[in-house]
Structure 1
């Protein structure tokens, strides 16, 4: 750290050419153990999500959570129950606007809705996180001509955690297994895991959902296939004379998949009607910048994330949150780095030899 501070002070007083040579030399020399950096980068990001979501992944089958408002005014208390007819009408309204047309009422869906309503504090935090991710999700879904409400799948899959890891080995916001990730060009090596890259994994999810819909042609069964795998859905359809109705086939699916479609419908409802249930938004998001306030720029030279963040007067935590795909601190040329647009002027002044600044994109 002393060396890095000394370099930063020297760079202010030295001519640009000398500054360039000093910075290049030290990026190559003063690097920590890559394995140690791997652990630090992953653990730093995971700790943020444990803190954000209370350290536990929420489950509809788990303990029921309640929310206590700061004041005792009953008007502001979270409404955790909803009458059948009211929920039916609201779901019907959402379904009319929807392109997938699966947001229908039944008693299983009703139970899922009320389970989410009992997790009101969790929902408030998810809404806060969605401010960063949903604009990007919607942009990608629109590019692939897919229904925008599919963005809610990411909540069920990962709680919008870009480094979420399942017991089975799925990773990222869209929870790709290594094999499926490779099919959709999500590469994994000792430098990065692109399943953790929100942009690339969203592109992959769009392509995968597009493939599943072309293959199956029914959105309920597409979601079931996304959860259980297309092979499971194929077998169930073959045994039931290709009858494509999820609710008629409900009992044949694994328990997790039986709950998956009801959870998807429920999260659609809650994310659209949380205000009617007095759910408060949790404003303490780990993201200080919106997706639209960041840029992605190619790297020409090896660069240390820690040193780069320090030199830009940018929090290292903010930098790794914007680049969760990287497993190590030293990033080789040929990769890309996302950071705030308001740092472009500093980048042009002091770091132009590390980045292809003219060709950046969102």
Structure 2
């Protein structure tokens, strides 16, 4: 009897070991190669993008049927469509910053499409390039100063959205007097007026689309074109979002200061803010002091204390999908 029990126990243990081995194998290996590739084929899809048959930029027609123009645009629309995280950030930030930029463009009677240059230049971030260009509009220091922006150890107005946009608009108007063409104005913003004039003269052409340029400038206008197309037709390119998913405009008021500030932390506390918030809303202040011997007037942007809570900011935003109008379809 004892021998029989030992045999039964041995069989049970052996069976358990076999089952454990089988289970471990399934757990480690997962589904087989065939099932894996079937699932991959079923669920992973990348679609080629149907390009519009007609395009315009800055109110000027784009020769999209030319093979080189078409393929240059195709490259940029593909990159920005499938770099989803970055492009979605553009949607979010555009909701906050475009209204201010659009207002200034209207003031100068300039094409609305020029606003997309700020995205291409900085992605709506107050960054500084390795070459030294800074702010939303990426002005180099000499150019910024020539357009009246103040730059010193305490102040850098390239980071002042209102003043740098005004400077960019003045540049656009001045440059349009030279080229009488907004596409060339945009190209000059990247390569520089002198370099663009040299290329136009040497190559004996008058159109941006006929120029052989360095890769950055050759892509520049097409990048603007792609961002405009995506931001105006989000659904067509697979971007879905609700109003509340976009960054809201934060209510602010302005304070004019015409004296020196010896301690920006104390200045912040006077308005019941912390130092970080003052710097966030006034990035043109690059020091913690403001020496103002000449009594110059500086406009400080102060956020309203009762509007800093995100839930309160979103109260007026609906669940409706697409804040950016997608009803005006690109012509096919």
TM-score by length of 2: 0.70
Label 1:81 to 1:307 Cα distance change in 2 as closer, same or farther (>3 A): farther
Label 1:141 to 1:222 Cα distance change in 2 as closer, same or farther (>3 A): same
Q: Is residue 58–residue 182 contact of structure 2 (8 Å, CA) maintained in 1?
A: no
- Matching residue of 1:115: 79
Label 1:78 to 1:150 Cα distance change in 2 as closer, same or farther (>3 A): farther
- Of the candidates 95, 103, 107, which is equivalent to residue 143 of structure 1? 107
| 1:120-164 deviations in Å (ceiling 9; x for gaps) | 1111111111122101110111111100111000111011112x1
- Of the candidates 249, 252, 268, which is equivalent to residue 294 of structure 1? 252
Instruction: Report 1:187-202 matches (<5 A).
Output: 187-202=150-165
- Cα root mean square deviation, aligned: 2.8
- Of the candidates 35, 45, 49, which is equivalent to residue 82 of structure 1? 49
| 1:273-303 deviations in Å (ceiling 9; x for gaps) | 1232232459777x7743xx22332114434
Label 1:319 to 1:103 Cα distance change in 2 as closer, same or farther (>3 A): farther
**Deviation of 1:195 (Å):** 0.9
- Matching residue of 2:215: 255
Distance in 1 between residues matched to 2:271 and 2:133, nearest whole Å: 34
SS at match of 1:186: coil
SS at match of 2:149: coil
Q: Is residue 151–residue 157 contact of structure 2 (8 Å, CA) maintained in 1?
A: yes
**Higher relative contact order at CA 8 Å, sep ≥6: structure 1 or structure 2?**
1
Distance in 1 between residues matched to 2:223 and 2:238, nearest whole Å: 20
Q: Given the alignment of the two structures, is residue 231 of structure 1 paired with residue 194 of structure 2, yes or no?
A: yes
Distance in 1 between residues matched to 2:58 and 2:101, nearest whole Å: 16
| 1:237-269 deviations in Å (ceiling 9; x for gaps) | 21233x2111211x2x11110110111111111
Distance in 1 between residues matched to 2:149 and 2:177, nearest whole Å: 21
Distance in 1 between residues matched to 2:208 and 2:94, nearest whole Å: 28
Q: Given the alignment of the two structures, is residue 216 of structure 1 paired with residue 176 of structure 2, yes or no?
A: no
- Matching residue of 2:325: none
Q: Given the alignment of the two structures, is residue 322 of structure 1 paired with residue 285 of structure 2, yes or no?
A: no
Greater Rg over alpha carbons, structure: 2
SS at match of 1:330: coil
Return structure 1 stretches of 4+ with deviation > 6 angstroms. 282-285
SS at match of 1:176: coil
- Of the candidates 230, 240, 243, which is equivalent to residue 270 of structure 1? 230
Instruction: Report 1:1-362 matches (<5 A).
Output: 81-83=48-50, 87-89=51-53, 91-92=54-55, 95=56, 99-105=58-64, 106-162=70-126, 164-241=127-204, 243-249=205-211, 251=212, 253-281=213-241, 289-290=249-250, 293-303=251-261, 304-333=263-292, 334=296, 335-341=298-304
- Matching residue of 1:6: none
SS at match of 1:338: strand
Distance in 2 between residues matched to 1:209 and 1:78, nearest whole Å: 42
Count of residue pairs brought into register by the alignment: 256
Q: Is residue 125–residue 281 contact of structure 1 (8 Å, CA) maintained in 2?
A: no
Distance in 2 between residues matched to 1:191 and 1:254, nearest whole Å: 36
Q: Which stretch has the larger CA shift, 259-268 or 328-337?
A: 328-337
Q: Is residue 124–residue 279 contact of structure 1 (8 Å, CA) maintained in 2?
A: yes
SS at match of 1:331: coil
Gaps of 5+ in 2: 1-41, 65-69, 307-332
